Amino acid sequence: MEESEATVPTPGREKRACSEDEPAHIAKRPRVQGIDSENGGVGPKPVQEVEDEPEQEGSEEEEEGAEPGETEEEGETFADMMKHGLTELDVGILEFVSKHEGFSGILKERYSDFVVNEINREGKIVHLDDLTVPVEPEETPRGQPEEEVQVQVLTAEQKQQLEELQLLKNKEGNVAIEVLDDTKEKRTLLHKAVKTSYPGLETKTEERDGRKFIIAYHAAGKKALAAPRKHSWPKSRGSFCHCVLYKENKDTMDAINVLSKFLRVRPNLFSYMGTKDKRAITVQEIAVLKISAERLAHLNKCLMNFRLGNFSYKKHPLKLGELQGNHFTVVIRNISGTEEQVTQAMTSLRDIGFINYYGMQRFGTTAVPTYQVGRAILQNNWAEVMDLILKPRPGAEKGYLVRCREEWAASQDPEAALKKLPVKRCVEGQLLRGLSMYGKNNIITAFGLIPRNNRLMYIHSYQSLVWNTMVSRRLQAFGLKSVKGDLVLRAGSAHVLTEEEAESHSIHDVVMPLPGFDVIYPTHHVGEGYREMLKADNLDIDNMRHKVRDYSLAGAYRRIIIRPKDVSWEVINYDDTRISLVHTDLEKLDNKPPPVFNKEGKYRALRMEFSLPSSTYATMAIREVLKMDTSIKNQTQLNTTWLN
């Protein structure tokens, strides 16, 4: 999947797509991340590493009700609420591999401080560097006009009026096109011309004073999921238009939902290789079924925080997990480290690497961590699963969730609690709907109404807690060398090292298992530690099959240490805290100059670049450099101090 980062809730403006109603706001809330798809298959396999958004599979926008929200109404600051959050110690993140002295710095003070460029199947870093539409041989048969032919029925004045309407610059809110030639064919041609050439616009026919008009109006967001319009498609053209999506401060699913609204198609026509985090600038490949490059390119005129380019037609869609990894450009602001400390830290990251821990976003952000729910599922303790998800809790949450939980605690009535939720797609809403349909005595079936990816997120979180804890124990016991009893991968299967074999392997070869019914464990005492940890949680390591098949854990293997590639860095001095310190693909396309730094500036930042394989967390690489807790709880406190 991909990565995103520990989302640090520092102030930063979010641009708006021109069809959306949501206002720009201060980005105060970290997303609860979803799951990796790495453990979803049958049987063990090497865990591929990703960027920091460890969820291969797209999930719903409000996927986790534990997502903190705006709570000014309660008068509690985000920093106050996050005192209930997790720290790294809580999830087994304990060790470092480097010996340099750590230093402080602020992650993601601005979303532009974190730039992610996908590494595609061919191993190429994906960039947005071409906005042109591919030229194709003319293949429009008579009687089946293509989009380019359709638009010719519009006059230059009408095109200008429609473009202004699309950009919400038309005061009347509509454009009336008189149909002088009152034939159905002419009207049909005009309808098609408007809808295909100006995504987001709808049309209708009206009669005014005995004259017929086609009325164009802005309908994005109102008829967002109308049935896809059918257009003729050249047989020689691949069915999928591939392109590069550049986005700012939007997660991938949110971006695709916006694009689908403007195109008036369903989101499932889009495919991609991995999801990207919201609080970042990200560049990734997407593909759309039978939507022309012209229509996609036209969206660039009205979507402010997106840009589409590098178009091509291919016969196949994209698939989750196909990417090789991600390239990161990360800015750490207000660093305290000396030039020597920075050099030592970055050299160690380049040469040794970092511990491949599952990052904090794997475990949620409130007083009820996702791994606790996962443990209850594996224990088959469904009453506790229900209680953990629905009970009141301290910490950062949306006001309506607080009221929903209070109602549930008071009445235990799922329908009454559900009425407190304006947004029913969150996990709480889906569970309550299931309980109202099937009753509190059938929690398993009620829980099944939650999308599968979200349900698996909980048990994968528990697996991740075990893995982090056992890796810390392994490194404490044996350090950075391979030893007898360690595991390495050979042809996709795990092999236990003998004492002689251990001497010919490095720590970079060693893997550790995520617990499951189809993995083996190290034969030294750390392997026994798995058994002890699961036994303490009332789980049997020899019986990881669940009576509900979805929750049976096959297990997987994951490398202990990851060495980033393409590592580079520089220390920057600057005076204006509001400026971006990265020259983005979009700025280069728009011929904007790169940022200029003042060598005598009073602020210092570390700008680093590196590439990671999929399924690894960039936050854990940054943690190794700073030697600092990357939890939102800790970062919020740093940001509060820095901003004051």
* Cα(72)–Cα(53) distance, integer angstroms: 28
Token pair 């807690």 is found at: 465
What DSSP character marks residue 132?
P
Three-point CA angle 34, 36, 38, nearest 5°: 165
Residue 387 is a catalytic residue: no
Q: Which residues of 148-161 are buried (b: 16+ CB within 10 A; e: fewer)?
A: eebbeebeeebeeb
Query: 16: closest CA among 303, 260, 446?
Result: 303
* Cα(215)–Cα(155) distance, integer angstroms: 15
What phi and psi, each to the nearest 5 degrees, are found at residue 613?
-70, 165
Beta strands in 416-480 (DSSP E): none
* Cα(560)–Cα(555) distance, integer angstroms: 16
* Cα(583)–Cα(14) distance, integer angstroms: 18
Beta strands in 398-531 (DSSP E): 487-490, 493-496, 510-514
* Cα(342)–Cα(250) distance, integer angstroms: 31
Q: Note whether 46 and 489 are within 8 A (CB).
A: yes
3-state secondary structure of 512: strand
> 3-state DSSP helix/strand/coil percent for the chain, to nearest 5?
35, 20, 50
* Cα(586)–Cα(315) distance, integer angstroms: 28
* Cα(291)–Cα(306) distance, integer angstroms: 17
Q: Note whether 44 and 21 are within 8 A (CB).
A: no
Query: 349: closest CA among 328, 323, 333?
Result: 328
Q: Which of 52, 113, 251, 277 is catalytic?
A: 277
Instruction: Show the tokens assigned to 599.
Output: 């060598």
Q: How far apart are the first and last CA of the chain?
A: 37
* Cα(429)–Cα(327) distance, integer angstroms: 37
355: which strand partners? Answer: 561
* Cα(570)–Cα(609) distance, integer angstroms: 9
The residues annotated as belonging to the active site are 277
